[in-house]
Amino acid sequence: MFGGGSIQLARVFGVRIGVDYSWFIVLFLIIWNLSGYYEDVAPESSAFALAVVSALLFFLSILLHELGHAWVALRNGIPIEGIDLWMFGGVAKLGRDAGSPGVEFRIAIAGPLVTLLIAAVCFGLSAAVSSGSDALQSAQFDEDVTGATTAVLGYLASVNVLLLVFNLIPAFPLDGGRIARAIAWKLTGDRNRATRFAARLGRAGGYLMVAAGVALYAFTGDLVGGIWLAFIGWFLAGAARSAEAQADFAGRIEHLRVADVMDAEPVAIPDDWTLADAEQQFFLRYGWPWFPVIDANGRLVGVVSREAVESVPASERATRRVGSVMARDDGSSGLRVRLDEPLESLLSQEGLARLGAIMAVDGEGVLRGIVTLDAVRRALQSAVPA
């Protein structure tokens, strides 16, 4: 759901921005709903255009919210695998979990702060281009609003306030639930225990939303609103259950570190070797599709593949160096992990999934081992109770 089958739109700060197919359904519904509202505040010929602009600006608000999370995460050294817009809004997928409750709190609060700023700016602009009473009426979806600009700004202000309130509900995995987890983590010093606490809040919040959806239909007859609220609650409860199960599993492997599962005798190619020597001594000898590359001090500097070597004409391989064709590792490429990192941190490593292995380095960047996907699987299987 989050990134696998989405359509890429752009890259911002190097972060992939995509939309899930479900996003188009919600976009249509929002445009359809707003078209009726704008017919009462603008000429019928422009109502549809205003609805389209408002819907796109609403999703831009969500994107800015997620970019707030992503920007703070990147500033704290956490890679972002992408941001996707989908039927429930948006999600920024972090390459790994925060390393401290303080970082977790800052990442979680960044999105709501961006949303609050957007709501304030939109209301301020609405008040600036109209009377104060018109600005308040537009924020309340009053059909007596005069002026298309006021109506659009009022809609954006109100919908971002609703988004802010919803996201601050202390139900994991909403931002409010992540804030609650950060606080519990700070108080207990145990991330897994804090996650379980926040996930239970999320399950309770999800079930309450399902009940609220049923009550909305029963007492007001709003079938669409009731179903939508119940569906969101059901999704949150399911996501919280998954988070709780993941926390329970993480608790069983929290004593394991990368050094416990790695092969401590890695085979690596020096970056100053010729391609001909690398081909003869490594690729033909071992038959592996790629090897880590190290410098003269043993530090990991990249990865070289058989395809990269074979892409160079045979007549040039005796003079070309491995370092000239390798995929360079700058420390954020997902190819390395620290020896003292918990085994759990490997589960979200892109390099492990892409290459089938990841390089383990010490604090100086010296290659000390290789962790294969099979080794991780064996460690995880041993942690599952019989």
Q: At what angle do helices 175-188 and 101-129 cross, to 10 degrees?
A: 150
The pair of three-digit structure tokens given for residue 214, joined into one six-digit string: 């049923």
Q: Which of 19, 86, 23 is nearest to 8 (CA)?
A: 19
Cis peptide before 173 (omega within 30 of 0): yes
The pair of three-digit structure tokens given for residue 227, joined into one six-digit string: 């179903």
Q: Which of 128, 129, 126 is nearest to 137 (CA)?
A: 126
Q: Rounded to the nearest 5°, which phi and psi values hold at 26? A: -65, -40
Buried b / exposed e over 93-114, threshold 16 CB at 10 Å, is bbbbbbeebebbbbbbbbbbeb
Catalytic residues: 66
The pair of three-digit structure tokens given for residue 200, joined into one six-digit string: 């239970």
State how far the Cα of 204 lies from the Cα of 201, in Å rounded to an integer.
Answer: 5
